[in-house]
Amino acid sequence: MTSFPVLRPTHLRRRTLIFGVGAALALGTGAAIVAPDALATPKPAASQPSVPGTCTPLSASLTASNEQFSSSAEAAAPDTARIQSALKSCAGSGKAVELKANGGKNAFLSGPLSIGSNEVLLVDAGVTLYASRKPSDYQISGGNKCGTITSSSSDGCKSFISLSGSGAGLMGTRSSSGSQGIVDGRGGQDMLGTSTTWWALAASAKSSGNQNNPKLVQSNGASNLTLYDVDLINSPMYHVLLKGGSGATVWGVRIKTPSNSRNTDGIDPEDISNVTINDAYIQDGDDCISVKSDAGTAASHITVENTHCWGTHGLSIGSQTAGGVNNVTFLNDTLAGTDTGGITSSSNNGVRVKSAADRGGLVTSVVYQNICMTGVKDLIVIDPNYSGGGSGSSIPNFADITLNGIVSVHSASSAQSTLNGYNSSHPAGLKLENIKLDVTKTTAQYANIGLYKSNITASGTGVKVSNISGSGSVPSCSFPSFPAL
């Protein structure tokens, strides 16, 4: 694969973007260059967060060896109670419980933690917070047995970190070298008392049932949340699930887990509104970003910008869209089909909108603008029959999706795009503007497609294509290296 030059800004700490006609955008250390002539107008962007003052400092008492600790520490994670107690004492203060190094000791080992209203858990650069390997630590009372495969899809595991109160935050500090605090889910380590890793359990569940693995970070209905300058690695399942509520800022978060670790989504905004994701670097074994909604609650007003993906399943809407998805903008993002370890994604997608009749709903006012892809196989995927389609009356309706400034280079073997609506009563409404794909093979059905300066077109059952007035231009692209963690 041909390499591309990368601008490396000298200012590591602040990542404010400066836009200009034909100007390159400096998006952080080793970031991509995207040079559009016109930009989408997303919802007003959240401002870059700042680290609050410290309420309570906690000093590390452990060091790790290959992500592991002594048998006694593994059997009873020694830091759970003191971190949780400190968080409780700082509740409502707007300040942080700060995890600090202590000489050569730089590790904390904990079971599940809950961050309450208006408080922050802050992990200093050079410090790692490790998650317990003991499945019983995560057990939900009355739920499926955590750490097992079951026929029921009911969740049996608590998340490692729960953002349980509005105004909660998980942050890291950032050193002059660019390193950040780390939260390590240890998904590649054997569950305590077994010879099976969390990831191996997930792989086995693909053919035999449902995995019961903990997510790394999750919220349920809390609002005004912040994730900032923290590294989230090796999650047993999803890295970040933001479910319900209104208001979340995810900025400077780096997620790194191998591409072959099943169901380790990067960031999933679900049933939530008013979300900004900015300056994220994401490698995982499922969707890079997945915006989704369940019946009764829409996902809306979400912006994903300056975000870079390696070896993932793509920048996705869905598959759940039953509550509706609207006013979503992906802006100045890049995707590479292979992760940093050379593993190619098993579902190698770029731009992706997916749903099915058992989980569908209205998807409208969605914009993908200035998206650059390299080594991707399924370049643009509009799929209302995801995973076989399912049966039901929740018909996917992809009404208004604009793709403006989409570029692919060095695409994977057999690359193609798919532009499908559900049926003649529910055609996909698509605008393709300033599209320049290196592989133009495209299949389509039941779609109304407007074209402006696009090198792909489509034909098929129920497909109508027309020329439209558009704006902007094809972006120039380069691709970042994943920052050193």
Please tell me which residue in 239, 301, 308, 313 is annotated as part of the active site.
313
Euclidean distance between CA atoms 372 and 405, whole angstroms: 8
Contact 286, 307 (CB under 8 A): no
The type of residue at 66 is: N
Pairing, β 246-251 against β 217-220: unpaired
DSSP 8-state symbol, 126: T
Q: Could you tell me how far CA 415 lies from the centroid of its own chain?
A: 23
Euclidean distance between CA atoms 452 and 446, whole angstroms: 20
At residue 127, the 3 state secondary structure works out as: coil
DSSP 8-state symbol, 111: S
DSSP strand E in 176-307: where? Answer: 181-184, 210-211, 217-220, 225-228, 230-233, 240-243, 246-251, 254-256, 267-270, 273-278, 281-283, 289-293, 299-305
Please tell me which residue in 184, 229, 265, 286 is annotated as part of the active site.
286
Specify which residues 420 forms β-bridges with.
445
Q: Could you tell me how far CA 37 lies from the centroid of its own chain?
A: 27
Indicate if 410 belongs to the active site: no
CA contacts within 13 A on the Cβ side of 441: 9
Q: Could you tell me how far CA 7 lies from the centroid of its own chain?
A: 24
Which of 66, 58, 248, 233 minimizes the C-alpha distance to 160? 233
Instruction: Tally Cβ neighbours within 10 Å of residue 192.
Output: 15
Contact 267, 280 (CB under 8 A): yes
Rg of the chain, C-alpha, whole Å: 22
At residue 195, the 3 state secondary structure works out as: coil
Residues 6+ apart with CB under 8 A from 42: 303, 305, 329, 331, 367
Contact 437, 458 (CB under 8 A): no
At residue 443, the 3 state secondary structure works out as: strand
Which of 97, 101, 105, 61 minimizes the C-alpha distance to 79? 61
Indicate if 313 belongs to the active site: yes
Q: The tokens of 119 are what?
A: 């408080």
Pairing, β 325-336 against β 299-305: parallel
Residues 6+ apart with CB under 8 A from 456: 380, 417, 432, 435, 437, 440, 442
Return the active site residues.
286, 313
